[in-house]
Structure 1
């Protein structure tokens, strides 16, 4: 059984493996976690944490650009991007799984957490080692100019393993009712990492940038794991009853499709700007990259805002329809004004980077317009995760990802791109992104309307059958 489960663990329902979905748990919510106190605050805490991470990342690369030659910055960025990509893939989406299962795990909370972390860490390390075997330049950068190659390989593997569980710690804290700990944890991590960058970057160049990541990651995981050991045990002791553990079918049915979709999403964040750079030239591609990153920061915050819905749904499965409606109102109320503000400030904001970037202001506005429609898709992905509809989640996620990639690949590129015509050259890509998001949002709305009509018809039929 997964995670070392007993032969006949408590189940949430009779689930066929071929159905590839899990069901919400019908159980009395733990007293320590019930109520509205842990509602919108959980999503807000995760959104703030993700925003802190994004801003710290931007600040750190701006500092690195001031301290180091451009070539060193590129080498360091390649190492950091590579281990973050590996960690994102090898997390297997266990973060969302834990935020769904922990609230009702009871006395099983500690083994559920530790078996999950002990699965992610060695997997990330092994994949990381395999990666640097095929791309040894990453290990050379991590080891420094005169350092041995095995040292660089070990540093890369440590970073991959540590980052693989770094984000999962946030989900665990939310699931056990400590959402605001994630804000302090990520904020302090950012301060320490930037401070180390100022010291190590000056002394060791590209290797110093890598060390400014690896050092805090290792320390944060070691200390954070000890803290989790205490708080998870306390959470388990406060939980009433023996709790419920997920079965093999539920683990496979949830993680299989959702982890696949998450891999696609991780690739989307990196491949779209890369394709644009290769097809439209470095000048236009650089401007698009900055506009794309601004859009991705807001989308990531919206995704994080939806994650705690899984925990609330697990605690109160009977309120699924109500939670769906209230979370939709909340995400639109919070993020639509932010998108509007971003569109207004697109020109002045990009002009900080230079006139070449300011030419992409209309591109950024179109991307933000597309993201306004995509909020409905982000919300639907969160609902499908919370309801345990793993395959439906994967279909929507992968379809929306592939469509955007197709747009970036097939939109005609000018055979002689004009460096000063960034906006005109890339407008078709941005317009294609908007069209894809409008289509996906329309699909989501139609699916919801059909489900509502089906439920209404079922209720009418029940009433007619019961009538004298």
Structure 2
């Protein structure tokens, strides 16, 4: 009880529980998909969902990182900040999503016949609702109410499995996409009611003494953070599209299931970083102490995850069917990358709290370039395992690069409470 009384751990565990639910039920989801849909349909659905994640991530404007950083200090202006975030994200979804579908980004996967525009409009609507659904998690974390996140995401995970089964006969080509998009829209609405009528007013009252930063500083921070987030987004979401393009939809079915499972594990690490960011922004004098606690928690989780995934990967993948056996090596390689990813995640949170955006952008750009560039080289030679190896090499390289700076922070040799201006050099 004493451990859970610490907000850093309580909110981190809540976010991790949400990730565990999403991951565990996500495996069930893809397992059900493998049983009820053909490998081609699963590969197609995985590619469309990856496109949804890609466009959604690009149009969320990195608000999932920005809101936890600034909601703790926005006080009475918190409601305005959240509304501005939702509005900006929705406008971006319409503009960027419209450009994506106009280029035919989903036509072959979602359009069965006739005009492609119904599928295009459905995709844009799905991006808007997915953004609201995802940004809600950041809002709940930013106002230190992350305990709501597991409930919300658990309901979503169960609902999409049920819908996936119901649509197997009626919509085999688009069942995966529909089962993902519709529950997100239906769940987002009641959550918003709770947030705006109950949780945000309580947060605004509790933090009324805080003074928000000037809008100019917030915009500069958001712009730089968004640029870095685009590189991270590409590293995560371009990979399944690259696999589908270079080795085909059937191979992508095995890769996508392993990739999504590993991405859920990575999300657990990112969520620990989110909790750290919120608590560090709430009390900047405690940043280094919080960093050490975060590093211990992330390290323990990632090492335990490596052992469990390496041991259980064959059994887990076998549940999907014989056609997915290639995902075993993929899952193991991605698991090996997680301890390195944990180190990078802690350091990224520190950079956000210190407002040192230039090194953060450079680090994410380098990681993206290594992962995607190396995957493009290895995929034709080693198949889907080559893409996983490329990602692992990228995480190892970036972790080695940030290790000296992270060590200085954890040892307490960085200036306590220092908050350099946006874009300050390291």
* Same fold? TM cut 0.5: yes
| Kept in 2: contact 1:272–1:405 (CA 8 A) | yes
Q: CA RMSD, aligned part only? A: 3.4
Partner SS for 1:399? helix
Give the deviation of 1:262 after TM superposition: 1.8
Residue 306 of structure 1: aligned partner: 273
Find the partner of 1:262 among 223, 229, 243.
229
Find the partner of 1:439 among 366, 381, 397.
397
Distance 1:111 1:456 in 2: 34
| Kept in 1: contact 2:240–2:252 (CA 8 A) | yes
Residue 100 of structure 1: aligned partner: 69
Distance 2:244 2:105 in 1: 24
Residue 419 of structure 1: aligned partner: none
TM (norm. structure 1) is 0.77
Matches within 5 A, 1:9-158: 37-135=6-104, 138=107, 141=110, 149-158=116-125
1:396 aligns to 2:363 (yes or no): yes
Q: Which has the larger radius of gyration?
A: 1
Partner SS for 1:192? helix
Structure 1's 364 and 253: CA in aligned 2 closer, same or farther, altered over 3 A?
A: same
Distance 1:145 1:432 in 2: 37
Matches within 5 A, 1:150-299: 150-275=117-242, 289-299=256-266
TM (norm. structure 2) is 0.84
Distance 1:454 1:51 in 2: 32
Stretch of structure 1 that moved more, 277-286 or 287-296 = 277-286
Q: For residues 353-377 of structure 1, what are the alpha-carbon distances to aligned partners after superposition, in whole Å with 9 as ceiling and x for unaligned? A: 4567546645543442232233211
Structure 1's 152 and 283: CA in aligned 2 closer, same or farther, altered over 3 A?
A: closer
Structure 1 runs not aligned, ≥5 long: 1-34, 415-421, 459-468
Q: For residues 371-427 of structure 1, what are the alpha-carbon distances to aligned partners after superposition, in whole Å with 9 as ceiling and x for unaligned? A: 22332112211222233222222221221221222322344954xxxxxxx7xx777
Distance 1:201 1:347 in 2: 27
Give the deviation of 1:159 after TM superposition: 0.8
| Kept in 2: contact 1:351–1:357 (CA 8 A) | yes
Stretch of structure 1 that moved more, 205-214 or 99-108 = 205-214
Distance 2:49 2:323 in 1: 27
Distance 2:245 2:170 in 1: 34
| Kept in 2: contact 1:85–1:266 (CA 8 A) | yes
Distance 2:120 2:385 in 1: 42
Distance 1:402 1:210 in 2: 29
Stretch of structure 1 that moved more, 365-374 or 449-458 = 449-458
| Kept in 2: contact 1:139–1:153 (CA 8 A) | no
Partner SS for 1:177? coil
Residue 28 of structure 1: aligned partner: none
Partner SS for 2:210? coil
Residue 344 of structure 2: aligned partner: 377
Find the partner of 2:307 among 327, 335, 340.
340
Structure 1's 395 and 227: CA in aligned 2 closer, same or farther, altered over 3 A?
A: same
Structure 2 runs not aligned, ≥5 long: 417-426
| Kept in 2: contact 1:384–1:390 (CA 8 A) | yes
| Kept in 2: contact 1:163–1:217 (CA 8 A) | yes
Stretch of structure 1 that moved more, 64-73 or 79-88 = 64-73
Find the partner of 1:317 among 284, 304, 319.
284
Distance 2:299 2:220 in 1: 30
Give the deviation of 1:69 after TM superposition: 4.2
| Kept in 2: contact 1:306–1:382 (CA 8 A) | yes
Structure 1's 436 and 126: CA in aligned 2 closer, same or farther, altered over 3 A?
A: closer
Distance 1:161 1:86 in 2: 10
| Kept in 1: contact 2:34–2:320 (CA 8 A) | no
Distance 1:190 1:427 in 2: 28
Structure 1's 429 and 116: CA in aligned 2 closer, same or farther, altered over 3 A?
A: closer
